[in-house]
Amino acid sequence: SPPPMTMSVDNARCRLWRICQVEAPDLFDVATHDRLRYLNKVPHGDEEQARSAARCCPARAIHLSGELAGGDR
């Protein structure tokens, strides 16, 4: 099976607009004190949520890698 998709967020670009949390609530959480928490390794089955979050991020701060990333970023 292919390696898991991995995800990173460019903190210099992220503006904490929380769109990623809306698109992928299982993967992102903007916690108290405006700290973004996210899963670095995307669980199997949540790849589409990750792709959607990356597509919808207006700051283009979310980067996906791995065979399952789909070439979006």
pTM of the predicted structure, to 2 decimals: 0.86
Which of these, 32, 17, 31, 4, lies nearest to 62 by C-alpha position? 17
pLDDT at 70: 67
Place of tokens 């607009």: 17
* Between residues 55 and 35, the one the model is more confident about: 55
